[in-house]
Amino acid sequence: MKDREQKRFVIYSRKSKFTGKGESIENQIELCRQYIAVNFGQTEADSALIYEDEGFSGGNLERPQFKKMMNDSQKIDFAAIVVYRLDRISRNIGDFAKLIDDLGRREIGFISIREQFDTSSPMGRAMMYIASVFSQLERETIAERIRDNMHELAKTGRWLGGNTPTGYASESITSVNMNGKTTRACKLKIIPEEITLVKLIFDKFIETGSLTKTDEFLLSNGYTTKRGKRFTRFAIRGILMNPVYMIADDDAYNYLSENEVDLYSEKKDFDGEHGIMAYNRTLQTKGRGNQAKPMNEWIVAVGKHKGIIPGATWVKVQKMLELNRSKNYRKPKSNVALLSGVLFCGNCGDYMRPKLTSRLNADGEYTYTYLCTTKERSTSKLCAMKNPNGNLLDRMVIEEIKKLGSQSTDMARMITQTKKQIGRSRDDYNAQLDEARKQFDGNEKTIKALVGKLGAASGTSAEQYILAQIDELHTKGEALKSRIRDLEAVTTQNALTDIEFDLIRDMLSNFGENIDNYTLEQKRAAIKTFVRKIVWDGENAHMYLFGNEGKCELPQIGEAKTEPKGNNCRPLSEVIE
């Protein structure tokens, strides 16, 4: 590599998650820095640029810090990119090959210290490509092995664990194989009272052709899920679409075959008695709800459990659901209501949502009311709360918020109380934060000292002992980092100075003059800034402000109606429709 003294080394580190193997982001960086110091000098090591991606897979190059590094490589002269291990960059041979070609054309080296690869030599480049091929092969082999394992499990028709579907419980079964070895597995067994409810849900949906009407029926008659909660349309749809209830008969076989599922049972196994086990039906992604996969990705077998819904009936229900989905699109109406999410029914405690009409009022606005969702879902059987006039209620809430600026007593009390509370806790938080930072710094110094000893201890019995210490200290460091982040968030949130409090007061004093000029979204944001909850009791609305003095005694969900109380409760005038 040319003109190395004029270029800067780059250290890149990546980790999907902490695994306890001593390869944390910090350890990777320190090992790379030591490598640069030994081979190119301490000055180069100290000036190395650092890019870190934590919580990202090596399956592709879609990582924020990696992208930043490659963008910076167009502006800054890089001598080489140094990584702890080859797969820290990528496990995809195509991505990796393109990256090495790109770096080679721009005379940027690539060094992997674990495998001792350096692209400054032809042999180093060749060996790196070979290692990358094996890295991708390993990744694809693991994925294939997982799917093969699912295929083998599908052949048994067993229940693999997790939350059992409504109507069934998990039951352990024991069997002896040809070698005389005893094996244990699980299958589903029927819970009579629950399975009767499942049949009722199928019957009611076929009768009404509507998830909404089925939901209304279950709600009005007091039916609950196996966990004692009210049914929702989402839960009802989940039951209706679950093939576990379908009897393995000729209709089931034909339907599954037509939809090209990965079927691991012969036609003769569809005996008209057992149910269906379908694996690989959903894509489970961390932080998101499960997504349904297309049927041609399912792995299906006849289960060990008893089915309850004939194949023809189950197929009919799927077609009805599909038809409903195609009819469900509606052009969204313009929603000008402001109180969604903060307005509650004082009778049953449920949310109240806006219900728009096609009528115009004297101001030329479309009129709307707020409707209790329990009242709507049960067609007034479980709750008969009167609907408030939404246009009027929204205006009255805005007028009350305006008073927070012009009537200084409420806001002054809220600000003063907040200042007192922060004053009492600020010193304590700062002391805890200083102590946590000292402990973290000491922990990091100890880790760096141990990392420095690794080179001398390589190949000796002391190496594993040092690695074990590093793992233990890393775990402690992660806990300390989490504690520091929490304390920093608290101190930052509560770091308002007296001047800043005065600025807030000044801003609020002009709030009433400006709110009428706010956009719809700005008004909604303003309401949620000052209002914790609004309770409609059928005659009046009671508005609860955010504040630190006094409690707001709000009715609980399902609790009998009580008169709202509290220092921050502001009754509004009658706004019945």
Confidence check: pLDDT of 22 > 90: no
> How far apart are the C-alpha atoms of 478 and 335, rounded to whole Å?
46
Note the pLDDT of residue 205. Answer: 94
Q: How far apart are CA 257 and CA 253, in angstroms?
A: 6
Averaged pLDDT, 195-211: 93
Contact 86, 128 (CB under 8 A): yes
SS3 for 198-242, per residue? Answer: HHHHHHHHHHHCCHHHHHHHHHHCCCECCCCCECCHHHHHHHHHC
Pick the more confident residue, 574 or 481: 481
Tell me which residue of 274, 509, 320 sits closest to 407, measured CA to CA: 509
Residue 61: is it exposed, middle or buried by C-beta count within 10 angstroms (0-12/13-18/19+)? Answer: middle
Highest mean pLDDT among 134-143, 485-494, 537-546: 537-546
pLDDT by residue (tens digit) across 54-78? 877 766 778 889 999 999 999 899 9
Residue 339 · residue 527 · CB < 8 Å:
yes
Q: Which residues of 423-458 are buried (b: 16+ CB within 10 A; e: fewer)?
A: eeeeeebeebbeebeebbeebbeebbebbeebeeee
pLDDT value of residue 574:
42
Q: Which stretch of 100-104, 330-334, 448-452, 513-517 has the lowest confidence by average pLDDT?
A: 330-334
What's the pLDDT band for 20 if we cut at 50, 70, 90? very low
Residue 246 is given by DSSP the state B
Query: Residue 536: beta bridge partners?
Result: 345, 541
Highest average pLDDT, of 144-153, 214-223, 475-484, comes from 214-223
pLDDT score of 370 more than 60? yes
Q: Sheet containing 109-112: which strands, arranged edge to edge?
A: 49-54, 8-15, 78-83, 109-112, 117-118
Tens digits of per-residue pLDDT, 393-448? Answer: 998 888 887 776 555 455 555 555 555 555 555 666 677 888 888 888 888 888 87
pLDDT at 143: 58
User: Measured between alpha carbons, how far is 473 from 392 in angstroms, rounded to an integer?
Assistant: 61
The region of weakest confidence among 26-40, 205-219, 465-479 is 465-479
- Please state, in angstroms and rounded to a whole number, the distance separating the CA atoms of residues 469 and 453: 12
Name the residue with tokens 């800067």.
8
- E strands, 365-488, where? 366-372
| C-alpha span between 104 and 119 (Å, rounded) | 8
Q: Is pLDDT larger for residue 214 or for residue 465?
A: 214
Q: How many CB atoms lie within 10 A of CB 399?
A: 12
Condensed to tens digits (0 to 9), the pLDDT of residues 86-121 reads 778 776 666 776 787 788 778 888 888 877 777 766
Secondary element (H or E) of residue 530: helix 520-530
Q: Phi and psi for 9 in degrees, rounded to 5? A: -80, 150
Q: Are 15 and 28 in contact (CB under 8 A)?
A: yes
Domains along the chain with CATH numbers: 4-143 (3.40.50.1390), 194-327 (3.90.1750), 338-577 (no CATH)
Q: How many residues does the structure list for the chain? A: 577
Does the CA dihedral 137-143-146-148 come out positive or negative?
negative
For residue 90, give the nearest of 67, 116, 118 by alpha carbon. Answer: 67
DSSP state letters, 139-180: HHHHHHHHHHHHHHHHHHT----SSPPTTEEEEEEEEE-TTS
Residue 49: strand, helix, or coil? strand
Which of 66-80, 199-213, 472-486, 551-565 bottoms out in mean pLDDT, i.e. has the lowest? 551-565
SS3 track for 278-302:
EECCEECCCCCCCEECCHHHCEEEE
Query: DSSP code of 553?
Result: B
Computed over every residue of the chain, the mean pLDDT equals 76
What whole-number distance in Å separates Cα of residue 443 and Cα of residue 487? 18
- What is the Cα–Cα distance from 122 to 139, expressed in whole angstroms? 26
DSSP 561: P
* Model confidence at 2: pLDDT above 50: no
Strand ranges inside 329-374, DSSP E? 343-345, 352-360, 366-372
C-alpha span between 420 and 127 (Å, rounded): 66
Spatial neighbors of 215 by CB under 8 A, at least 6 apart, are 231, 232, 233, 236, 377
| CA dist., res. 130 & res. 403, Å (int) | 72
Give the other-Cβ count within 10 Å of 379's Cβ: 12
How far is Cα 382 from Cα 376, in angstroms, rounded to an integer?
A: 9
Which residues neighbour 487 within 8 Å (Cβ) at sequence distance 6 or greater? 429, 432, 433, 436
Packing angle, helices 233-241 and 311-327, rounded to 10: 140
pLDDT of residue 134: 56
What phi and psi values does residue 13 have, to the nearest 5 degrees?
-130, 145
Distance, CA of 190 to CA of 167 (rounded, Å): 6
Give the pLDDT band of residue 272 (cuts 50, 70, 90).
very high
Which contiguous run of DSSP H or E holds residue 480? helix 462-493
Give me 116's structure tokens. 């001792």
Q: Which pLDDT score, from 0 to 100, does residue 409 have?
A: 55
Nearest to 388 by CA among 187, 133, 574, 176: 574
